[in-house]
Amino acid sequence: MAKKKVVKTNAIRLVEQKKIAYHEYSYEWSENHLGAAEVATKLGQNPAQVFKTLVAIGNKTGVIVAVIPGNHELDLKKLAKASGNKKVDMIHLKDLEQTTGYIRGGCSPIGMKKLFPTFIDQTAKTFPTIIISAGKRGLQLEIAVGDLEGLVQGELVDLIE
Of 11 and 2, the structure prediction assigns the larger pLDDT to: 11
Whether 128 contacts 47, CB under 8 Å? no
Whether 122 contacts 82, CB under 8 Å? no
Q: How far lies 57's CA from each of 47, 102, 137, 150, in Å?
A: 26, 16, 23, 22
CA torsion sign for 147, 18, 37, 83 is positive
Judged against a pLDDT cut of 90, whether residue 143 lies above it is answered with yes
Instruction: Give the global pTM.
Output: 0.91
CA distance 56 to 89: 5
Q: What average pLDDT score do residues 51-63 get?
A: 96
Judged against a pLDDT cut of 90, whether residue 22 lies above it is answered with yes
- In this structure, of 2-11, 47-56, 109-118, the range with the lowest mean pLDDT score is 2-11
pLDDT, tens only, 62-119: 999 999 999 999 999 999 999 999 999 999 999 999 999 999 889 999 999 999 999 9
- In this structure, of 36-40, 77-81, 125-129, 132-136, the range with the lowest mean pLDDT score is 36-40
pLDDT at residue 127, as a whole number:
96
